[in-house]
Amino acid sequence: MAGVLLGIARHARSRAPMELVDHVEVTVEGGIHGDFRGAMRGKPYKRQVTLIERGDWAAAMAEVGHTIGWEERRANLLVDGFDLPQTAGVRVRIGAEVVLEITRECDPCERMEALAEGLRAAMTPDWRGGACAMVISGGRIAVGDEIRMEEA
């Protein structure tokens, strides 16, 4: 089942504000162009790109009674109509070229609690905080691109 890429965000350095963009290059070496996490070294680096489901963010917001932009989660990609795989090693394709491999759950950190009391706990169940991934195949992605499971 395919979904859609609703948003792309990046930050140039740790704790920098998130920048929303409508398209971006993604590379194996650097992850999301302009995002500091993608270029971090270490083999294998398991947090090049982070993804979150729109519905999971909305559920967490409803639980804490706030309306905060998804980019404050500090995830790179917002998807809709697609259940992110909850298994390391599963691959997803975004658009025509980009393939990401899910590496692990993206655990919510203490920064979520600074946004809204109870948000960290609201994001904990069922991978609601999103998924971390590494880039397998690079290319250009844009808001509106299809996201789907990659055929094995």
**Domains of the chain from N-terminus onward:** 3-10+23-145 (2.40.33.20)
In terms of Cβ atoms closer than 10 Å to its own Cβ (0-12, 13-18, 19+), residue 2 is exposed
Measured in whole angstroms, the distance separating CA 43 from the mean position of its chain's CA atoms is 20
pLDDT at 123: 86
Which whole number is the average pLDDT over 96-120? 88
Q: What does R_g of the chain's alpha carbons equal in angstroms?
A: 14
pLDDT at 42: 63
Q: Is the pLDDT of residue 151 over 80?
A: no
In terms of Cβ atoms closer than 10 Å to its own Cβ (0-12, 13-18, 19+), residue 6 is middle
The CA distances from residue 85 to 34, 65, 68, 102, 117, in Å, are 26, 27, 25, 7, 28
CA distance 71 to 13: 15
- What is the phi/psi pair of residue 26, to 5°? -125, 130
CA distance 94 to 136: 11
pLDDT at 145: 98
What pLDDT, in 10s, does the model give residues 4-55? 999 999 998 888 899 999 999 999 989 999 998 887 666 666 789 999 999 9
For residue 87, the one-letter residue type is: T
pLDDT at 51: 97
What pLDDT, in 10s, does the model give residues 44-91? 667 899 999 999 999 999 999 999 888 988 899 999 999 999 999 999
What pLDDT, in 10s, does the model give residues 111-143? 887 788 888 889 888 899 999 999 999 999 999
pLDDT at 116: 86
For residue 80, the one-letter residue type is: D
pLDDT at 108: 83
